[in-house]
């Protein structure tokens, strides 16, 4: 992802890759330090993704200053660059693997020697060399100070900056075991020579480091899997484009296509950019974007989306959006931002991790003192062993990974089904939704109404072969041609189907929630609702019966007036989407109340609602009134989701607790929403809520187990029932188990 310096209120924001973090205390420390810098308004550090999102005032602070500050506290920050191949992560995983393998090979003889001390392994042959303290020292030293040097540097930097992280616990535990063993080794010289075998604890320090490194390797593997959604989305992109330049067709990398280029798309190839068809006819598979398996016919003038598949014809496409501006790039960006964001529930882990390490060090010191004084009086080695076990098992890795890994996996899985959460807070909020408000046109219905009826007045004057119906339709279509409303498009399409030549129109004015006014052939023409005609002083009584009949049939009827008189009625019908009723039934089964909201009249609205199985209807609501209706529903204590697709839905989407935009709608609606439903299918709504519920359940499971490991493990270690190497294994397993539990979200069926 390219460096993101984009408007964020009055400032800008930047995204950084952070290296050197080992636990939640590290991410909390970076947030705290950066948050104190002048000009920085918001900091979000994600441990699982190893990223930071910073919002700042450009005049007060720069990205370079932010990176320097991160460096000064012992970590490294780099501005995120355009996402390339995943080689860097694979390189990191290979490095972690090689480190633990080398550490394991050096630790294996120490483990063998340790096994010889147990009564139940007394029959195991142990080479005498393995029992020699100097041989053990030679093996343990490179593990402690070469392979394990990363823990020392990280612990030093943390302590230098007044904080304590996981590495402080690791260094305290392993160093105590190593240096006490070193002391015992030198003490053995005064006994009976260098070859005297004494009971040292080199294996404790070496095995702890090995096990921690194994845990880190597993974490890296699992976190790599949690980014599968991003990689699969990126894999949809075309790699090259066939571009016409200087009269020649040349193949160029897709990154080199510029807006305005003419791109030739052959059958069976992916469309490389977002653009407009200039020439050709073909069917395009847009399932990756909309979820619809049926290809969409494309002709000159139609828009096409990058990464969709051209099926059977040759298309010449004029590039409109390239690179980061394409629909797919924006989807990837939304998913990345969601995966890198922090859900409110994470503050529990942040508060705990901020005070956790000092408390654990205190518990370890108390444990040592109790054992040395009372538990095993004077037995320094035994007391030290118990304290080391406490230090090691309490490492807060799992606590720091509990929330972000679930957010990554949950939002990534949702994206695979065309559900884009803009952030972790929205993923968390969706699970609390109790009321879903659905816009009618384009949301419950297909949004592609067709002309069905024309009813005229007997006083219409028609000329030549022109009928009275055609005269009314021509006047209405001429006025509506200047509108982008789906109902207007249906009237204009109906006129085109009849082969009507439309008169010139101008002075167009949209009256929100009422209709339109335009000048047609010098006459003022009105097309709209009863309320509009009534406000203009026109008599609607003669038309009431016609309007009511059409509306009861589920049609939207509009009055057409000119020269101060109503000429007739045009009616259009919009059918509900095939999945609308099933989606409504699913939501109701989940205990969610469904409300349909529309500016259409009540009779038509209730007819459509009945077809979809919706019991509650808010009809004749003007665009500016939709947000007020949302607030009224919220005032009853219900968490409300608004689902819409039009510009007039944007205020309501922003007002709702969770705004869901149908992805087949307008950019404005998608920008105002918290969740984008790319498929345009209402089944995505229960899917989104279900994904939110499962993700939150997963997070709570992770937090429970992360805390349970410590609540249960620390007392067990303090009481002496856990050897340090077993404590290290349990600590490593706790982190891995939390990540693996989060990855279960990638198998959720929607």
Q: Are 285 and 297 in contact (CB under 8 A)?
A: no
Q: Are 561 and 611 in contact (CB under 8 A)?
A: no
CA distance 519 to 471: 15
Closest CA to 715 of 351, 394, 380, 356: 394
CB atoms within 10 A of CB 635: 8
DSSP 748: -
Residue written as token pair 């392979």: 147
Count CA atoms closer than 13 A to 128's CA, side-chain side: 2
CA distance 410 to 427: 8
SS3 622: coil
SS3 305: coil
CA distance 199 to 185: 9
CA distance 507 to 518: 5
Q: Are 654 and 646 in contact (CB under 8 A)?
A: no
Residue written as token pair 């001429």: 478
Residues 117-149 as b or e (16 or more Cβ within 10 Å = b): eeeeeeeeebeeebbbbebbbebbbebbeebbe
Alpha helices per DSSP H over 371-508: 380-393, 397-416, 424-429, 468-480, 486-497
DSSP 7: E
SS3 222: helix
Distances (CA, A) of 216 to 398, 736, 739: 11, 8, 11
Could you write out the DSSP letters of every residue in 457-483?
Answer: -TT----TT--HHHHHHHHHHHHHTT-
CB atoms within 10 A of CB 355: 12
CA distance 502 to 524: 15
Distances (CA, A) of 175 to 136, 383, 726: 15, 15, 17
Both tokens of 249, joined, read 């067709």
CA distance 1 to 53: 12
Count CA atoms closer than 13 A to 447's CA, side-chain side: 18
Question: Can 439 be counted among the known catalytic residues?
Answer: yes
Q: 526 — phi, psi (to 5°)? A: -120, 135
Distances (CA, A) of 74 to 27, 163, 353, 397: 12, 11, 18, 18
Dihedral sign for Cα atoms in the order 644, 646, 649, 653: positive
Closest CA to 226 of 733, 742, 736: 742
Q: 453 — phi, psi (to 5°)? A: -140, 145
Q: Are 523 and 563 in contact (CB under 8 A)?
A: yes
* Spacing of C-alpha 714 from chain mean position: 35
Burial class (CB in 10 A: 0-12, 13-18, 19+), 2: middle
* Spacing of C-alpha 500 from chain mean position: 49
Among residues 167, 261, 274, 439, the one annotated as catalytic is 439
Residue written as token pair 């919009």: 574
What are the catalytic residues?
439
């Amino acid at each position: 992802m390219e460096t993101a310096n984009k408007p964020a209120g009055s400032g800008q924001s930047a995204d950084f890759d952070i290296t050197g973090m080992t636990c939640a205390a590290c991410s909390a420390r970076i947030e705290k330090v950066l948050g104190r810098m002048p000009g920085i308004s918001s900091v979000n550090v994600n441990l699982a993704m190893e990223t930071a999102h910073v919002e700042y005032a450009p005049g007060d602070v720069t990205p370079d200053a932010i990176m320097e500050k991160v460096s000064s506290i012992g970590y490294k920050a780099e501005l995120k660059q355009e996402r390339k191949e995943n080689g860097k992560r694979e390189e990191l995983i290979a490095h972690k693997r090689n480190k633990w393998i080398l550490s394991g090979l050096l630790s294996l003889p120490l483990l063998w020697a340790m096994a010889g001390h147990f009564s139940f392994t007394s029959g195991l042959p142990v080479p005498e060399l393995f029992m020699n303290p100097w041989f053990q020292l030679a093996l343990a030293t490179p593990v402690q100070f070469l392979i394990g040097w990363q823990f020392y540097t990280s612990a030093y930097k943390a302590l230098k900056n007044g904080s304590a992280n996981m590495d402080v616990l690791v260094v305290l535990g392993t160093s105590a075991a190593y240096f006490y063993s070193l002391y015992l080794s030198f003490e053995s010289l005064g006994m009976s020579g260098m070859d005297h075998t004494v009971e040292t604890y080199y294996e404790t320090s070496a095995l702890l480091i090995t096990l921690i490194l194994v845990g880190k390797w597993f974490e890296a593997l699992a976190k790599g899997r949690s980014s599968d959604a991003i990689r699969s989305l990126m894999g949809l992109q075309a790699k090259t484009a066939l571009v016409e330049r200087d009269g020649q067709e040349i193949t160029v990398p897709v990154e080199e296509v510029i807006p305005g280029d003419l791109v030739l798309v052959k059958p069976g190839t992916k469309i490389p950019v977002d653009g407009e068809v200039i020439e050709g006819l073909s069917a395009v598979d847009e399932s990756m974007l909309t979820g619809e398996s049926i290809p969409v016919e494309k002709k000159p003038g139609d828009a096409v989306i990058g990464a969709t598949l051209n099926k059977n014809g040759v298309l010449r496409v004029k590039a409109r959006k390239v690179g980061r501006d394409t629909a797919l790039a924006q989807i990837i960006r939304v998913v990345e931002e969601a995966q890198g964001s922090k859900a409110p529930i994470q503050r529990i882990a942040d508060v705990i991790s901020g005070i956790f390490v000092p408390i654990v060090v205190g518990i370890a010191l108390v444990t040592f003192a109790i054992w040395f004084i009372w538990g095993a009086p004077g037995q320094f080695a035994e007391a030290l062993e118990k304290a080391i076990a406490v230090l090691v098992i309490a490492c807060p890795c799992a606590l720091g990974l509990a929330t972000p890994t679930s957010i990554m996996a949950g939002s990534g899985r949702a994206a695979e089904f065309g559900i884009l959460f803009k952030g972790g807070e929205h993923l968390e909020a969706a699970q609390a939704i109790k009321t879903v408000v659905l816009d009618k046109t384009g949301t419950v219905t297909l949004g592609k109404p067709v002309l069905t009826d024309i009813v005229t007045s007997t006083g219409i004057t028609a000329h030549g072969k022109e009928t009275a119906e055609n005269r009314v339709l021509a006047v209405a279509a001429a006025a509506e041609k200047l509108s982008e409303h789906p109902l207007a498009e249906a009237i204009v399409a109906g006129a085109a189907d009849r082969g009507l030549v439309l008169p010139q129109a101008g002075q167009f004015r949209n009256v929100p929630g009422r209709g339109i006014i335009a000048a047609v052939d010098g006459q003022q023409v009105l097309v709209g609702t009863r309320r509009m005609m009534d406000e203009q002083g026109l008599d609607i009584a003669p038309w009431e019966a016609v309007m009511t009949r059409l509306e009861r049939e589920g049609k939207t009827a509009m009055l057409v007036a000119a020269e101060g008189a109503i000429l007739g009625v045009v009616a259009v019908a919009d059918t509900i989407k095939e999945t609308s009723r099933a989606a409504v039934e699913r939501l109701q089964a989940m205990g969610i109340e469904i409300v349909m909201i529309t500016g259409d009249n009540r009779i038509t609205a209730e007819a459509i609602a009945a077809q979809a199985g919706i019991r509650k209807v808010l009809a004749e609501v003007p665009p500016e009134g939709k947000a007020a209706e949302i607030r009224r529903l919220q005032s009853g204590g219900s968490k409300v989701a608004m689902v819409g697709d039009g510009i007039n839905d944007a205020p309501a989407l922003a007002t709702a607790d969770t705004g869901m935009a149908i992805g087949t709608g307008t950019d404005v609606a998608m920008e105002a929403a918290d969740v984008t439903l790319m498929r345009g299918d209402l089944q995505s709504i229960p899917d989104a809520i279900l994904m939110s519920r499962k993700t939150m359940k997963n997070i709570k499971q992770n937090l429970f187990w992360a805390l349970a490991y410590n609540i249960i493990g620390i007392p067990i270690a303090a009481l002496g029932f856990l050897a340090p190497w077993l404590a290290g294994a349990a600590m490593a397993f706790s982190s891995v188990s939390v990540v693996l539990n989060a990855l279960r979200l990638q198998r959720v069926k929607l």
